[in-house]
């Protein structure tokens, strides 16, 4: 028998306070003044209750870079951030391009038990962009892969991209594209603009992202398949996705917390903690991303949690790795940029960080409403709290958070995965 929990007086999706009764992994009742014999009481007073968050874009680094992150440590960070499911990107070593590797990652996630892990399958063998990987075998494996991506690299060959889009239709899959025209971004280091010129760093033009997104929207429409666009970072990209949606095409898109908050001005520090792919962009781009996320053009927030050990980040800008941590701070950054600014309410956050990402990943047990009969995947969040980010406190094996020393709003108090607490009182349970 699993423990029964009675969450008292939590504000469901930030609305009215109610009690939530959790028994045998499910929510069995939601209402006022509930009682249950022998239940553990969890005080939800003043806390927002959201469905467990779902990340469409996490790098867990295992197998191959267990010095940067493991499935165990990465999913601890996920649970602490309020996530009950993450999609683990395929750019591991070996690459997750076979049924064997995706099953290994999936199994490691189950054994760790902090959060469900859904492996993303590579689109091409070894992320080499030359031959399609065994997409069908990964889809049919125990890992049930539905999201395919060469993330870290763009599937730049239009014929391969078309074939991948056609192929995944057989199992209702989706191709998640890292949209970056390779020739236009050779040795690119930061956003192309006035600043890159001033700093003498090779620029990364917006058109390199936008050209691929436009092409892929057209390809997805042409073969009537599903396209997902990873880490949209420019105002022009938002416009293109808006246009594709207006045509009724099956295109979804994500934005990352760091692109909703930080700008390329950070490069002035020459601190590679701010080096990320795609790069931090202009203030106008940040504003367009927020507007796009608010009006639904951008469907979801995805973290692109990208751990790197200090030797890959503590070096000069040109030599440093691209990427930043994101799981433990995502909800706070979304609160700061979208909720506290009045652009989204908590129901809107739940849609973009739980319901929609679960839908895109075709996960049936996540992103469900907080209602009787549903799996008890729940996060309790104290939006009134503040905290100063201390990189030494992260559960991640890496420390490359761009928010070190910043005061952020909000704190995850508890996370429940199928009725079992993975986090209680803000600590791993």
Ligand X SMILES: NC(=O)N[C@@H](CC(=O)O)C(=O)O
Residue ranges at the known binding site for Zn(2+): 57, 59, 151, 178, 231, 304
Measured from the CB atom, is 47 or 179 closer to Zn ion?
179
Neighbouring C-alpha atoms within 13 Å toward the C-beta of 407:
3
Among 23, 116, 151, 254, binds Zn ion (CB under 5 A): 151
Restricting to residues 159-188, name those near ligand X by CB under 6 A: 178
**Cα(232)–Cα(215) distance, integer angstroms:** 15
Shortest spacing between CB 347 and ligand X, in angstroms: 29
Q: Pick from ligand X, Zn ion, none: which does 290 bind, CB < 5 to 8 A by kind?
A: none
Helices (H), 122-256: 135-140, 158-168, 194-199, 206-223, 235-246
CA angle 6, 55, 309 (to 5 degrees): 115
Q: What number of chain residues touch Zn ion (CB under 5 A)?
A: 3
- Residue 83 sits at φ, ψ, to 5 deg, of -90, 140
Q: What is the H or E stretch that residue 175 is in?
A: strand 174-177
Among 23, 72, 116, 304, binds Zn ion (CB under 5 A): 304
Measured from the CB atom, is 103 or 151 closer to ligand X?
151
Q: Which of 19, 116, 150, 304 is catalytic?
A: 304
Residue 304 is among the residues annotated as catalytic for this protein: yes
**Cα(323)–Cα(276) distance, integer angstroms:** 4
Shortest spacing between CB 21 and Zn ion, in angstroms: 38
Does residue 210 touch Zn ion according to CB under 5 A?
A: no
CA angle 180, 165, 219 (to 5 degrees): 65
Tell me what percent of the chain is helix, strand and coil, each rounded to the nearest 5: 35, 25, 40
Restricting to residues 76-115, name those near ligand X by CB under 6 A: 91
Shortest spacing between CB 422 and ligand X, in angstroms: 25
Among 9, 14, 47, 59, binds ligand X (CB under 6 A): 59
Does residue 276 touch ligand X according to CB under 6 A?
A: yes
> Please, are residues 231 and 205 in contact by the beta-carbon 8 Å criterion?
no
Q: What residue ranges bind Zn ion (CB under 5 A)?
A: 151, 178, 304
**Catalytic sites, residue numbers:** 304
Tell me which residues touch ligand X (CB under 6 A): 59, 91, 151-152, 178, 276-277, 304, 306, 322-323
């Amino acid at each position: 028998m699993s423990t029964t929990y009675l969450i008292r007086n939590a504000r469901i999706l930030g609305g009215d306070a109610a009690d939530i009764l959790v028994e045998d992994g499910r929510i069995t009742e939601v209402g006022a003044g509930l009682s249950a014999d022998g239940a553990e009481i969890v005080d939800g007073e003043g806390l927002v209750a959201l469905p467990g968050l779902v990340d469409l874009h996490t790098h867990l680094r295992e197998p191959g870079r267990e010095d940067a992150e493991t499935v165990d440590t990465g999913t601890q960070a996920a649970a602490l951030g309020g996530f009950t499911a993450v999609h683990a990107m395929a750019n591991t070593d070996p690459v997750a391009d076979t049924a064997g590797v995706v099953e290994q990652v999936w199994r490691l996630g189950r054994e760790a038990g902090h959060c469900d892990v859904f492996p993303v399958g590579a689109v091409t063998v070894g992320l080499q962009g030359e031959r399609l990987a065994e997409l069908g075998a990964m889809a049919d494996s125990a890992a049930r892969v539905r999201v395919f991506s060469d993330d870290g690299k763009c599937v730049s060959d239009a014929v391969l991209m078309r074939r991948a889009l056609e192929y995944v239709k057989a199992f209702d899959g989706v191709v998640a594209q890292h949209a970056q025209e390779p020739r236009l971004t050779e040795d690119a280091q930061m956003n192309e603009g006035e600043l890159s010129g001033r700093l003498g760093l090779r620029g990364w033009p917006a058109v390199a992202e936008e050209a691929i997104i436009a092409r892929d929207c057209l390809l997805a429409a042409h073969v009537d398949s599903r396209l997902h666009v990873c880490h949209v970072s420019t105002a022009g990209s938002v416009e293109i996705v808006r246009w594709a949606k207006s045509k009724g095409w099956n295109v979804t898109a994500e934005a990352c917390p760091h692109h909703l908050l930080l700008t390329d001005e950070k490069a002035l520090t020459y601190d590679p903690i701010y080096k990320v792919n795609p790069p931090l962009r202009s203030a106008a781009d940040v504003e367009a991303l927020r507007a796009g996320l608010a009006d639904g053009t951008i469907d979801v927030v995805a973290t692109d949690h990208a751990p790197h050990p200090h030797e890959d980040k503590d070096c000069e800008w040109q030599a440093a790795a691209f990427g930043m941590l994101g799981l433990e701070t995502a909800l706070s950054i979304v609160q700061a940029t979208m909720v506290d600014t009045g652009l989204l309410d908590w129901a809107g956050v739940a849609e973009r960080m739980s319901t929609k990402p679960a839908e895109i990943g075709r996960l049936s047990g996540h992103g469900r409403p907080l209602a009787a009969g549903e799996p008890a995947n729940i996060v309790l969040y104290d939006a009134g709290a503040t905290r100063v980010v201390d990189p030494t406190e992260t559960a991640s094996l890496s420390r490359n958070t761009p928010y070190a020393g910043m005061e952020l709003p909000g704190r995850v108090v508890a996370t429940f995965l199928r009725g079992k607490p993975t986090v209680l009182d803000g600590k791993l349970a």
